Structure 1
Amino acid sequence: LIEMQRFAEKGCESRIHFAASEGVIPTAAELADLGVSIFVGVGHETTGANAYTSREIRELLSWLDGDPANRHTVFDATSMLGAMPWEPEL
């Protein structure tokens, strides 16, 4: 990701932010305060590395809803979707 950022138009490594710990999605307010426009998340439920909570997913959706034209998410969660104890509507 850092190599891609170096070559991207207006790219700047200082604009890459990492969560405080693995498997944690910051709140909608934290993402907005950081000026994040793209959130990249990886769900590793099958390996036991992390599992996003319902609250974290709701925060991510809230952040996206705050500016859907300019906020985007790349979220690799295919293997964990059926295994998470989230409410059916989520």
Structure 2
Amino acid sequence: IDYLNYYITLVTTPMYLFAGVFFPVSSMPDWLQTIAWFNPLYHSVEVCRGLVVGQVGTILWLHAACLILFSVVLALVPVYFMKKRLIS
């Protein structure tokens, strides 16, 4: 398990940097803002900020929908590959 620390850090550090945890995503270049939309942590941060500040609006529901979509996809992909592996 110790050898996985490098790879986990390699994935989680950019996720935190590009999710708006430390600085707002709006201050990033446009291409990084586009990448942030594919980061589930970005949507989690935006939902938490919206709930804390009390700004429950359409954009909050959009971020929540993105989180649900990420969850569904990340739940179905392993099932697909496991079925494929068990059948063969």
How does the TM-score come out when normalised to structure 2? 0.36
* Greater C-alpha Rg: 2
Which has the larger helix fraction? 2
Structure having the higher strand fraction is 1
